[in-house]
Amino acid sequence: MTDRHFAALKAQNFSLNPYALDLVEHAMRWMDQYWDTDTGLLGMPTYERLSPLARVHHIRETGWYALGLLQRGTDDDKQRACEALRTMLRYQFDEPGRPYDGTWYRFPEEPHPGNMPIWKGYDPNWREFIGTTLAIILLDYEQELPATLVAAIDSALHKATRGMLARNLPASYTNIALMHAFLLLFAGERFGEADWMKSGEQFAQAIYDLFAPNETFSEYNSPTYYGIDVYALGLWRTYATSPLLQTLGANMETALWKDIALLYHAGMKNMSGPYDRSYGMDMRHYVSTIGMWIWMAVGRDAAPFPDISQPFDHAHDFCFAPCCVAVDISVPQEALVHLRAFQGERQVERTIASEPNRVASAWIGNSLLVGGEYTSYSQPASDQIHPATIHWTDPNNRIGWIKLAYTVPVNAIATKDRLTISCIANDGGMSNFIFQIYAPASKTLHAALWQLSGLTMRIATNAQYKETRENDEYAEVCYSASTLAPGTRIEFTLDIQEQ
């Protein structure tokens, strides 16, 4: 990195650590290749099947790129940042009374949402993601932007706040709620709206009241969304002027890092399950935002992050790096030691919530991670939840993994060398159990015995073995409980023997 690069970022935060600068430099070089001068946006591959097109122009990610350009701070970068921001602002919805009012198109190639439902036609969370990015840009770089662009950003923030207030967001939607509270306070201060400021502080208190009983977030253990939580709490710590947000944010940020440390294995470069929301099973092969924070804490070589010189999954989240370095990192020492090196075998048990009762359990071994969540048979919020997981290291130091696809509500409990799973048979037709298995080398899969490279699994169950399927990434071992009477307790016991 040359001295002139990221001079603006260094001026904003003279104590920024070299790992953070390394992260943002690599992220910006990676994003530079996707800049489309014809559109003034980042043109990147589609993700999460949001479009039939292989490549689209990303609105939110262009905002993150604009922040990074201002952080890098050359004259050309500033000019490109202004162009990116002007383009991005044109794709905001200004339709009071509509559920998508104040949010943005995800990409200009998608149709107007019209009467399409949430998530399918639009994403309301772009208000908070883009809104907080615009807030940082104003707080750090307003004096370097043309007055007309500042006015346009202010107008966009007005519309985003209007839409946020109309949404009635629950405080339990952790990652968005944390950004929401900060943005309400920021917009209230900037525009002299005392009620918005009051709402921001009240919402922050509501989030903390949910967090305080167990010192956990209900959106528990997500390698992606924990990273957004850390960012939002960093906003409270770094940019919020409210003593309430500063105090509550510091308490939650410290507790969150302790939770992350409990479940993280530095040698395997992975967080143990269970995951309430996860986009992958091996953090070394997809971008998780927590992976970027750990890069900032201990450096790229020690971080759980994919090889960015090769194609990698969930790549668009790499664009988030400028937001991370804007707030910088604050990890308590007792958590930092876990990020640097494996600190020994341990059994973890954490109460997540009381109504319904939810308890996460995990075994963190030398080369084995087992995760389970007791859910009280609560329905899954999405297909991102993985309540029963196993990771292991094979003899060649490669990571294998197993997860139960959450097609039915289950209770799972993890202990040393064992994962137990149960549910209640019902008459609704949801009776299939699918275990997805990735083994780095050879595998032999039978109904009651899975022989994997580095691991032998013995399975006891009253469900009926159905079939084993293979695809390019993993195998699926399928069981059915369709012959069991409604009300029958269905059980799986997975006994694990390391080789």
CB 131 within 8 A of CB 88: no
Q: Do residues 334 and 378 share a domain?
A: no
Q: What is the average per-residue pLDDT within 33-59?
A: 93
- Least confident span in 306-310, 381-385, 440-444: 381-385
pLDDT value at 398 more than 80: yes
Q: Do residues 268 and 145 share a domain?
A: yes
What value does the mean pLDDT of the chain take?
Answer: 93
Structural domain of 47: 7-340
Indicate whether 71 belongs to any domain: yes
Report how many helices (DSSP H) and strands (DSSP E) the chain contains, helices first: 13, 19
Of 340, 369, 398, the residue that ends a domain is 340
Indicate whether 316 belongs to any domain: yes
For the record, the structure tokens of 99 come out as: 């559920």
The CA distance from 390 to 363, in Å, is: 9
Q: Give residue-wise pLDDT tens across range 327-378.
A: 999 999 999 999 999 999 999 999 999 888 999 999 999 999 999 999 998 8
Buried b (16+ CB within 10 A) or exposed e, 278-312: bbbbbbbbbbbbbbbbbbbbbebebbbbbeeeeeb
- DSSP string covering 189-243, please? HHHT-HHHHHHHHHHHHHHHHHHTTTT--SS---TTHHHHHHHHHHHHHHT---H
Q: Is the dihedral of CA 31, 34, 36, 39 positive or negative?
A: negative
Confidence of residue 430 (pLDDT cuts 50, 70, 90): low
pLDDT value at 482 more than 70: yes
Indicate whether 93 belongs to any domain: yes
What is the predicted pLDDT for the residue at 487?
87
Residue 317 gets which letter from DSSP? G
Q: Do residues 242 and 364 share a domain?
A: no
Indicate whether 194 belongs to any domain: yes
Indicate whether 360 belongs to any domain: yes
pLDDT value at 490 more than 60: yes
Q: Do residues 318 and 387 share a domain?
A: no
pLDDT value at 414 more than 70: yes
Indicate whether 2 belongs to any domain: no
- For residue 18, whether the previous peptide bond is cis, meaning omega lies within 30 degrees of 0, is no
pLDDT value at 15 more than 70: no
Q: Give residue-wise pLDDT tens across range 139-185.
A: 999 999 999 999 999 999 999 999 999 999 999 999 999 999 999 99
Q: What is the average per-residue pLDDT within 448-452?
A: 96
- Least confident span in 285-299, 329-343, 464-478: 464-478
Q: What is the average per-residue pLDDT within 281-285?
A: 95
Confidence of residue 5 (pLDDT cuts 50, 70, 90): low
pLDDT-above-90 percentage for the chain: 84
What is the predicted pLDDT for the residue at 38?
97
The CA distance from 87 to 94, in Å, is: 15
pLDDT value at 3 more than 50: no
Indicate whether 1 belongs to any domain: no
Q: Do residues 320 and 424 share a domain?
A: no
Indicate whether 452 belongs to any domain: yes
Q: Give residue-wise pLDDT tens across range 50-61.
A: 888 989 999 999
CB 181 within 8 A of CB 196: no
The CA distance from 188 to 245, in Å, is: 14
Show the CA angle centred on residue 424, arms to residues 423 and 425, nearest 5°: 120
Residue 192, Cβ density class (10 Å: 0-12 exposed, 13-18 middle, ≥19 buried): exposed
Q: Do residues 390 and 284 share a domain?
A: no
Q: Do residues 299 and 418 share a domain?
A: no
What is the predicted pLDDT for the residue at 429?
54
Q: Do residues 363 and 400 share a domain?
A: yes
pLDDT-above-70 percentage for the chain: 96
Query: At a CB cut-off of 8 Å and minimum separation 6, what does 448 contact?
Result: 458, 459, 460, 465
Of 340, 359, 386, the residue that ends a domain is 340
Q: Do residues 134 and 57 share a domain?
A: yes
Q: Do residues 364 and 256 share a domain?
A: no
Q: What is the CATH number of the domain that holds 162?
A: 1.50.10.10
Count of domains in the chain? 2
Q: What is the pTM of this model?
A: 0.95
Q: Do residues 238 and 359 share a domain?
A: no
What is the predicted pLDDT for the residue at 380?
65
Of 320, 340, 360, the residue that ends a domain is 340
pLDDT value at 2 more than 50: no
Q: Do residues 25 and 145 share a domain?
A: yes
